[in-house]
């Protein structure tokens, strides 16, 4: 059995065994948030890491899904499934609009635009208090309950969230190796050359933004079902920048790297709480060490041990040219 297969099995088994190692709901809650963050960062990876569009508004897209899900459940008493689905759809619709914007502007202008969108979202949620609860947020949102999986919400939702996160990352591998994934990477490398080769850059950018936003909306809706409370402070510009940092630490364009980085970077501050005033310095130093020691982030390790097949060519290698001259009827070469 290959080393990569063993590493993947060990990783999945380790994550699946965590509820058996600890029943502390706080620890499981932190890890659950890490998995949801990994879903949001995976979406950002499609737009920024694979397609090359700088997005600094992923937290607002996550908030769009969260507030849509929360409002539908709290105000209109919808069950969690249709509310979550509509939350994903609403975030995807906003992402489609941003995708249309990305076809007109690019680079740092697009980054500033998405950054402004994040601030507009925060101000709207903050000021429309009659609908969103304003600075106090939405409280007492019905949480998803699965009693067969444990006593606390963190225990009950651990395996569903983990399975969704792993399933989406498996789907991301398929998209990465598909024609759409190749089109996205071609635009990232050279948009003009990609268009010359027949790639529809407009449709590809819109598709990437819509996919990124849908995953952010799913992560936001999952956060609502897990926590039962949301406020404007959960989806700030700082959170969008934090998602981008996780992506860079994990490796731009990688699939396995950002997943591992997101979970580690969410859990690490809680592990370092015992260091008191020094934990922030240790946390920052750890990020600097990774970025300086591994320019490609954790993908240098993650893609080799966990998912090396992602980098395999999707087509068969070209057949070597035959350099021998054809033989004539008398056996001589012409």
- Per-residue pLDDT reduced to its tens digit, 6-50: 777 888 888 988 888 888 899 999 999 999 999 999 999 999 999
Q: How many residues does the chain have?
A: 334
- pLDDT for residue 28: 93
d(CA 241, CA 57): 8
- Residue 262 host element (H or E): helix 256-271
Lowest model confidence (mean pLDDT) among 116-125, 134-143, 199-208, 296-305: 296-305
Number of alpha carbons in the 13 Å side-chain half-sphere of residue 97: 10
Average pLDDT for residues 157-186, to the nearest whole number?
A: 93
- Read off the pLDDT band of 315 (50, 70, 90): very low
* Of the candidates 12, 14, 24, 15, the residue with the CA atom closest to the CA atom of residue 150: 24
| pLDDT the model gives residue 318 | 44
Q: What is the 3-state secondary structure (H, E, C) of 192-249?
A: HHHHHCCCCHHHHHHHHHHHHHHHHHHHHHHHHHHHCCECHHHCCHHHHHHHHHHHHH
- 184-219 pLDDT, tens digit each: 999 999 999 999 989 999 999 999 999 999 999 999
Task: Return the structure tokens found at 36.
Answer: 């949801």
Residue 81 has pLDDT above 90, yes or no: yes
Provide the pLDDT confidence category of residue 326 given band limits of 50, 70 and 90.
low
Average pLDDT, integer, range 217-235? 95
Least confident among 143-157, 190-204, 269-283, 312-326: 312-326
Q: How is 105-134 classified by DSSP, letter by letter?
A: --THHHHHHHHHHHHHHHHHHHH-HHHH-G
CA dist list (Å): 153 to 19, 64, 142, 190: 12, 23, 11, 47
For residue 316, pLDDT over 50 is answered with: no
Task: State the DSSP H helix or E strand holding residue 93, giving kind and residue range, or none if neither.
Answer: helix 80-102
| Percentage of the chain lying above the pLDDT 90 cut | 60
């Amino acid at each position: 059995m290959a080393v990569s297969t063993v590493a993947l099995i060990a990783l999945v088994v380790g994550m699946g065994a965590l509820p058996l190692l600890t029943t502390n709901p706080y620890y499981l809650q932190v890890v659950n948030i890490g998995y949801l963050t990994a879903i949001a960062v995976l979406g950002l990876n499609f737009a920024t890491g694979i397609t090359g569009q700088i997005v600094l508004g992923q937290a607002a897209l996550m908030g769009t899904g969260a507030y849509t899900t929360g409002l539908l459940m709290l105000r209109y008493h919808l069950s969690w499934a249709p509310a979550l689905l509509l939350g994903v759809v609403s975030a995807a619709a906003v992402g489609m609009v941003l995708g249309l914007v990305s076809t007109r502007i690019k680079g740092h202008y697009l980054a500033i635009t998405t950054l402004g969108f994040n601030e507009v979202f925060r101000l709207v949620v903050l000021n429309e208090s009659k609908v969103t609860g304003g600075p106090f947020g939405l409280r007492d949102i019905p949480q998803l309950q699965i009693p067969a999986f444990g006593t606390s919400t963190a225990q009950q939702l651990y395996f569903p969230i983990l399975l969704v996160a792993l399933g989406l990352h498996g789907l991301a591998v398929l998209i990465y190796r598909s024609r759409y994934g190749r089109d996205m990477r071609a635009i990232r490398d050279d948009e003009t050359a990609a268009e010359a080769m027949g790639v529809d850059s407009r449709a590809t950018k819109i598709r990437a933004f819509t996919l990124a936003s849908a995953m952010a909306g799913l992560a936001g809706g999952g956060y609502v079902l897990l926590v039962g409370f949301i406020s404007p402070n959960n989806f700030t510009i700082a959170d969008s920048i934090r998602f981008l940092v996780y992506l860079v630490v994990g490796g731009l364009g990688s699939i396995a790297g950002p997943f591992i980085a997101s979970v580690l970077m969410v859990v690490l501050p809680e592990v370092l709480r015992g260091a008191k005033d020094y934990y922030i310095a240790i946390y920052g130093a750890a990020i600097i060490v990774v970025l300086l020691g591994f320019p490609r982030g954790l993908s240098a390790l993650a893609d080799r041990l966990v998912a090396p097949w992602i980098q395999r060519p999707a087509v068969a290698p070209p057949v070597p040219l035959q350099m021998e001259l054809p033989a004539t009827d008398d056996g001589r070469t012409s």
